[in-house]
Amino acid sequence: MRVTNKMIAQTVLNNLAANLNRLQKLQDQMSSLHVVSKTSDDPMIATRVVTLNSVLKQHDQYEQNISDAKNWIETTESTLGNVTDALQRAREQAVYGANGTLDQTSREAIAQEIDNIFDNIVQLANTNFAGRYIFGGTKTTTKPFESDGEYKGNEGKEGELKWEISQKVEMIVNIDGKKVFGDTSAAGDNGIFTVLNNLRAHLRSGDTQAVSNTDLGELDRVINGILNLRASLGAKANRLETATSQSGGERTNYEALLSKLNDVDLAKVVTDFSMQENVYQAALSTGARIILPSLVNFLT
């Protein structure tokens, strides 16, 4: 087989191109610190890297949801704590107002204090977190309670706010506002606002028997109801802490796997790059010597 200058030159160029590609790949690894920067580098590794990155992004969202849920629950618990304090104050006033020897002027002053407590609890019932009302169900952009205690939010299953805190795991983070405070417009309502309405009405009418025999017991009932709701919030907060710990552990494992799979050994890559650079320079030098002058070079 006759070897021509053109064949020699093409072989040299092909080898130089291969050396240059290897040099470029090492350069990419040094600059990105990753084994693969595009799918063609290693399709199998690239596919696994894409999958792991997708899983880590999901964990980012789960952790954001958990953080938001914690803040929502903390806001709710704090609000219910303030409601409890207000109801305790109302109970103290009711005990004082149930005194049969008290004059009606004093009972009217107590009723006015109950008015203030009522307004304060309405304000608490309209608490919002990050611009979203926490007791309105899914109607988070409008006030759930009117000034008279009428409920405008939605309730039950329709009003549940569910946030995904892990794969296929959801948590209901809100509490039904009607369940907490009641709805003065609903027939047979016996919520907080109705209890306070009855108390101030009995104080203004001088019905001390109703205050002592009915209103005090009703106040105890709604206070216990709030305490039970706060206990359920505590259980949810504990569950979120567990979810945070679990998500953190999983994230650490996935990040370690991704690092093992795609992070380069920088010292090794730098050494390989230096070696490949020398190979490339040697190939250039050798190629220049191999490509001998042809007859054309001697034609003058």
The pLDDT value recorded for residue 42 is 65
| CATH code of residue 110 | 1.20.1330.10
Q: Is the pTM of this model over 0.85?
A: no
- State which residues of the chain have pLDDT below 50: none
Residues 79 and 141 grouped into a single domain: yes
| Within-domain flag for 22 | no
- Count CB atoms within 10 A of the CB of residue 40: 8
Helix (H) or strand (E) holding 137: none
Residues 198 and 293 grouped into a single domain: no
The pLDDT value recorded for residue 264 is 58
Residues 213 and 293 grouped into a single domain: no
**For the chain, how many structural domains are there in total?**
2
The pLDDT value recorded for residue 274 is 64
| Within-domain flag for 29 | no
- Exposed e or buried b per residue across 12-38, where buried means at least 16 C-beta atoms within 10 angstroms of its C-beta: beeeeeebeeebebbebbeeeebbbbe
| Within-domain flag for 14 | no
* 3-state class (DSSP) for residue 168: coil
Residues 176 and 295 grouped into a single domain: no
pLDDT in tens, 125-172: 999 998 999 999 999 999 999 999 999 988 777 888 998 988 888 999
| Within-domain flag for 271 | yes
The pLDDT value recorded for residue 30 is 53
Residues 211 and 246 grouped into a single domain: yes
Residues 122, 188: Cα–Cα separation, whole Å: 20
The pLDDT value recorded for residue 154 is 86
Residues 163 and 145 grouped into a single domain: yes
Structural tokens at position 222:
């709604």
The pLDDT value recorded for residue 35 is 61
Structural tokens at position 231:
């206990």
Residues 115 and 57 grouped into a single domain: yes
β pairing state of 128-129 and 162-166: unpaired
Which residues constitute the domain of residue 62?
A: 52-259
